[in-house]
Chain A
Amino acid sequence: MYITKILNNYFYVLMLMGVKLEESKVVALKQIEKAPLPKKVIIPLVQHIGKACKPLVNVGDYVKVGQKIGDSEEAISAPVHASVSGIVKEISVKETPLGKQPCILIESDGKDLWYKFNIPKVNELSKEDIINLVREAGIVGMGGAAFPTHIKLKSEDIDTFILNGAECEPYLSCDYRLMVEHTDEIIKGMRLIMKCLNVKMGFIGIEKNKPKALQLFRNKLKNTNIRVVALKSIYPQGAEKMLIYAITKRKVPSGGLPLDVGVVVNNVGTVKAVYDALYCGKPLIERVITIVDNKPRNLLVRIGTLVKDIVKSNKEKLVLGGPMMGIAQATLDVPIIKGTSGIIFLDKIAMDGEPEDCIRCGKCVEVCPMNLLPSYIAKYAKYDKVNEANGYNALDCFECGCCAYVCPAHIPLVHWIRYIKKKIEKCK
């Protein structure tokens, strides 16, 4: 209907979406600490979106830090590397944040011996070289999605690159500390990516609640082809589609990817890893995470460090990631993987009582960044009505959690939507 089309545009232009969350950036002002070398690490053979790697080493082999220990011949995959030097003790299925996966357990010898790698000549790298080196370093999206970065860098017809420094989830401040402490390295990594994609215009999106980061980047990028954009501090501003719309006003099509509108987005941690790989030859073997337990801090940890070895808390809920989209864990006996951005201990279920019937208040509709009707999709999910739920565009939901956050009836909306999304995908 024509009238609804006008009304639709009018309401969306105001971008009244998302929720204002309490930022709780408890450790934003503390410098990144370096974790002591772990005694053992468990490296899952799949830490990314895509196919699992096959192990390249055997039990009993001695490996050095940065040595490739798993790889795959599939297109959508990324290799994994040893994050400590020592002996491979086990190759078996273990509990990881992504469920039970085959893993390589390495017992550290405490010596931290690094594999010798060649430091590439950065100025002589071609697009293919950059893509190869990024792949060989095992770099995946470190904002949480863990998509293999080298595939993103293969995109054609890109005219904009956006560095995602939004970090909209409460508690997390690892990206912020990286931006403040490694500003130059991030800019260098970003320029390499822009060269690889043949992009003339770059943007850095940083939420307004991080004025120091904004200032640092602005000072270094005055009058360059990289523009620093201050973003509204609202959740989920850091979600890819929302970020691209805020900066370029382009809408990623439903079911599509940012490359469909000529944009590539990368997280701050990913770009820093690209710098480490291409300027120092270091593969992805450590990352900064925000830990919120009895002693909150931002910690530089080796990939594969077990959560139980570095945290201490008496709270009953452990979330890996941010509090809005992270995954609750059943045990502390899981390793930190490439996509883990935070380890957060929360009080037991932050909800009062049982879910009630939907009162049609419309708050979920108001906050949904994808303009969906979460209340209806959840209702259809409850009654297994797959076609109706698909008719309400359930597959467009990226599970940000805004709807369940505001629901006064405490309905687990995201849970229901996830359930029906899986059913719809199975039916397709």
Chain B
Amino acid sequence: MQITSSPHIHSRNNIGKIMWNVVIALLPTTIAGIYFFGTPALIIIVTSVFSAILTEAVSQKLMKKELTIKDGSAVVTGLLLALVLPPTVPVWIPIIGAIFAIAIVKHAFGGLGHNIFNPALAARAFLVAAWPMTMSTFSFDGVTTATPLATLKHGIKASYFEMFIGNIPGAIGETSALALIIGGIYLIFNKIIDLHIPLGYIATVFILTLFADPLYHLLAGGLLLGAFFMATDYVTTPITKQGKLIFGIGCGILTVIIRVYSKLPEGVMYSILVMNALTPLIELVTKPKPFGYKK
């Protein structure tokens, strides 16, 4: 007779199911990116995903660990990295980025469950620091143009409708608000993420930009991609319920500060990375009181 500890039934959740569901949620925005930016975008996406998978296999082999590429987490990181890159980058950018994201940001810090920073965003920060010109050149219809947030700094706005469907310059996965919202709803519906972080993040940005154009700020830049897919990454965000809300609000505050008061057009990446660093502190401060706690 088999003896195990209770409980003796299981919900059949597993890491693979979660990761592949995230990939499905990213499909609308992937397809939108390929539609609006063409073959270069497809090449970047495929390169990034395959580099990520290969890097994970090599890293785990070198570290003499069991290969876990089947769980889909490398695919998610590769895909997310591709989606935050400009469509015009040369093909070696996603390769280097994926290697950095998986080998350094993820595995050198302990592997899945132990990394401090969001691998895709940290890799993007590295790429921006190392190749700033390449990483800030956005093109649209073959012409080098500025993103809606960059033009906002000069007082020129793109149309809401164009920003909603994605007919604007930007990174591959951040342009189509519609596709991202569909993906976000899919994630929430399947209970992959809960509302605390995306709602906290988006609501904070909305409230803080009421003096300027809040809807513009919601639709522009990487906010929706960041709020639904990056800031909700399990490993690098607080595990407590209140902690998640504080994380989302913190990201919102930092994003607006960077967008409005700094020379940079977009603040999502840095705000999430900073909040990733603050996660252990947030968890300490929001340690929950058990049911029936008395002083």
Contact partner, A360, options B239, B292, B293, B294, Cβ 8 Å: B239
**In this assembly, does A329 line the interface, its C-beta being within 8 Å of a C-beta of chain B?**
yes
A139-169 vs B, CB cutoff 8 Å, 1 = contact: the mask equals 0000000000000000000000000000000
Q: Which of B208-267 contact A (CB under 8 A)?
A: 234-235, 237, 239-242, 244-245
Residues of A near B11 (CB, < 8 A) are 19, 405-406
Contact partner, B241, options A319, A366, A409, Cβ 8 Å: A366
- Which one, A38-46, A186-194, A275-283, A347-355, is touching chain B? A347-355
Contact partner, B113, options A327, A360, A373, A412, Cβ 8 Å: A360
CB pair B234–A362 under 8 Å, yes or no, is yes
How many B residues, CB 8 Å from partner?
Answer: 42
> How far is A346 from B4 in the complex, measured between Cα atoms in Å?
12
For B114, give the chain A residue with the smallest CB separation. A357
| Most chain A CB within a 10 A radius of its CB, from B4, B18, B235, B237 | B4
Contact partner, B6, options A325, A330, A369, Cβ 8 Å: A325
CB pair B6–A373 under 8 Å, yes or no, is no
Q: Which of A320-370 contact B (CB under 8 A)?
A: 323-332, 344, 346, 348-352, 356-363, 365-366, 369-370
- Which one, A59-67, A90-98, A391-399, is touching chain B? A391-399
Contact partner, A254, options B111, B234, B244, B290, Cβ 8 Å: B290
Residues of B near A251 (CB, < 8 A) are 291-292
Question: Do A327 and B6 contact each other (CB < 8 Å), given the known contacts A4-B286, A408-B14?
Answer: yes
Chain A: interface residue count, which band?
Answer: 35 or more
CB pair B2–A351 under 8 Å, yes or no, is no
CB distance from B66 to the nearest CB of A (A): 9
**In this assembly, does A418 line the interface, its C-beta being within 8 Å of a C-beta of chain B?**
yes
> How far is A409 from B111 in the complex, measured between Cα atoms in Å?
14
CB pair B15–A359 under 8 Å, yes or no, is yes
Contact partner, A371, options B18, B237, B285, B288, Cβ 8 Å: B288
**In this assembly, does A11 line the interface, its C-beta being within 8 Å of a C-beta of chain B?**
yes
> How far is A229 from B239 in the complex, measured between Cα atoms in Å?
34
CB pair B3–A329 under 8 Å, yes or no, is yes
Contact partner, B289, options A349, A371, A401, Cβ 8 Å: A371
Residues of B near A252 (CB, < 8 A) are 292
**In this assembly, does A177 line the interface, its C-beta being within 8 Å of a C-beta of chain B?**
no
Question: Do A361 and B6 contact each other (CB < 8 Å), given the known contacts A356-B15, A392-B287?
Answer: no
**In this assembly, does B112 line the interface, its C-beta being within 8 Å of a C-beta of chain A?**
yes
> How far is A423 from B194 in the complex, measured between Cα atoms in Å?
35
Question: Do A8 and B2 contact each other (CB < 8 Å), given the known contacts A323-B7, A323-B8, A328-B8?
Answer: no
Residues of B near A399 (CB, < 8 A) are 6
**In this assembly, does B157 line the interface, its C-beta being within 8 Å of a C-beta of chain A?**
no
**In this assembly, does A110 line the interface, its C-beta being within 8 Å of a C-beta of chain B?**
no
CB pair B240–A373 under 8 Å, yes or no, is yes
For B289, give the chain A residue with the smallest CB separation. A8
A232-254 vs B, CB cutoff 8 Å, 1 = contact: the mask equals 00000000010001000001111
CB pair A329–B1 under 8 Å, yes or no, is yes
For B73, give the chain A residue with the smallest CB separation. A359
> How far is A256 from B291 in the complex, measured between Cα atoms in Å?
11
CB pair B241–A359 under 8 Å, yes or no, is no
CB pair B7–A414 under 8 Å, yes or no, is yes
**In this assembly, does A21 line the interface, its C-beta being within 8 Å of a C-beta of chain B?**
yes
Count: A-B pairs, CB below 8 Å: 163
> How far is A351 from B12 in the complex, measured between Cα atoms in Å?
7
CB distance from A251 to the nearest CB of B (A): 4
CB distance from A344 to the nearest CB of B (A): 8
Question: Do A352 and B4 contact each other (CB < 8 Å), given the known contacts A4-B286, A365-B240, A371-B290?
Answer: no
CB pair A348–B6 under 8 Å, yes or no, is no
CB pair B13–A407 under 8 Å, yes or no, is yes
**In this assembly, does A7 line the interface, its C-beta being within 8 Å of a C-beta of chain B?**
yes
| Most chain A CB within a 10 A radius of its CB, from B3, B8, B13 | B8
Residues of B near A170 (CB, < 8 A) are 9
Contact partner, B292, options A1, A254, A319, A357, Cβ 8 Å: A254
Question: Do A375 and B290 contact each other (CB < 8 Å), given the known contacts A350-B9, A405-B7?
Answer: no
Residues of B near A392 (CB, < 8 A) are 287
> How far is A299 from B26 in the complex, measured between Cα atoms in Å?
52
**In this assembly, does B17 line the interface, its C-beta being within 8 Å of a C-beta of chain A?**
yes
**In this assembly, does A372 line the interface, its C-beta being within 8 Å of a C-beta of chain B?**
yes
Question: Do A241 and B3 contact each other (CB < 8 Å), given the known contacts A357-B113, A405-B9?
Answer: no
CB pair B290–A370 under 8 Å, yes or no, is yes
B1-41 vs A, CB cutoff 8 Å, 1 = contact: the mask equals 11111111111111101100000000000000000000000
Residues of B near A220 (CB, < 8 A) are none
**In this assembly, does A74 line the interface, its C-beta being within 8 Å of a C-beta of chain B?**
no
What are 17 A-B contacts defined by CB distance under 8 Å? A8-B288, A19-B11, A254-B290, A316-B1, A319-B8, A323-B9, A324-B8, A328-B2, A350-B8, A359-B235, A360-B237, A361-B234, A365-B241, A366-B194, A393-B290, A401-B6, A401-B7
Interface residues of B (CB under 8 A from A): 1-15, 17-18, 68, 111-114, 194, 234-235, 237, 239-242, 244-245, 285-294
Beyond A409-B14, A412-B4, 15 additional contacts (C-beta under 8 Å) are A4-B286, A253-B294, A254-B291, A325-B6, A328-B8, A348-B2, A352-B12, A363-B13, A393-B293, A404-B5, A405-B11, A407-B13, A408-B18, A410-B14, A414-B6
